[in-house]
Amino acid sequence: MLIPKKVKHRKWQKGRSLDRKVETRGVTLAYGNFGLKALEGAWITSRQIEAARRTISNFIKREGRVWIRIFPDKPITKKPPEVTMGGGKGDVEYFVAPVRPGRILFEMDGVAPEVAKEALRLAGHKLPVKTKIISK
C-alpha cells in the first residue's frame, strides 16, 4: 500500500467538498495511451488504489506498463469506538488521495486496446467514484 514517508503535519483538517470544483492539474494523458478518469470527487484510500492496481496488472498478465497518477498523502484520523467526546483528535487511521472530477487516476500502455479498456473497466469497479476510460 502507498503511504507517505514523511508528512509536514501529522494530522490535517478535513477540508471542503471535492465536487465543488473541477480538477485543473493531471487532466490529460501524460505517459500512456489509455487512462481512467474520475467523473466525481471523493477520497480514494491507499487500499482502493492498491486493489485497482492489482486488478489491472493481473488482467494484463503483467505485460505493458501501468502508471498511478494519484498518491494518498492526506492523513485521516479516527477515534476508537466507545470513547467519550474530548481528549483531542484521534490517531491517524489511514491515508487518502483527494480526487476532484476530471483527474486521471491510472494510465496504461503496451497492450492491445481491448485488453486495456477491459482492465481499466474492472479497476474502475474497485474505486468509490464514477470513472470513464479515455484514450489518446
DSSP string covering 4-58: -S--SSSS------TTSS---SS-S--SSSEEEEESS-EEEEHHHHHHHHHHHHH
Whole-angstrom distance, CA of residue 47 vs CA of residue 54: 11
Q: What pLDDT score does 64 carry? A: 94
Q: How is domain 34-70+99-135 classified at the CATH fold level?
A: Aldehyde Oxidoreductase; domain 3 (3.90.1170)
pTM, two decimal places = 0.94
**Across all residues in the chain, what is the average pLDDT?**
96
Q: What pLDDT score does 112 carry? A: 96
Residues of the chain with pLDDT under 70: none
Domain boundaries, the chain: 34-70+99-135
Q: What pLDDT score does 62 carry? A: 84
**DSSP assignments along 77-92, one per residue:** EEPPTT--S-S---EE
| Cβ-Cβ contacts under 8 Å for 9 (sequence gap 6 or more) | none
Assigned C-alpha cell, 90: 484521534
Q: What pLDDT score does 58 carry? A: 96
Assigned C-alpha cell, 60: 494484463
Whole-angstrom distance, CA of residue 100 vs CA of residue 18: 5
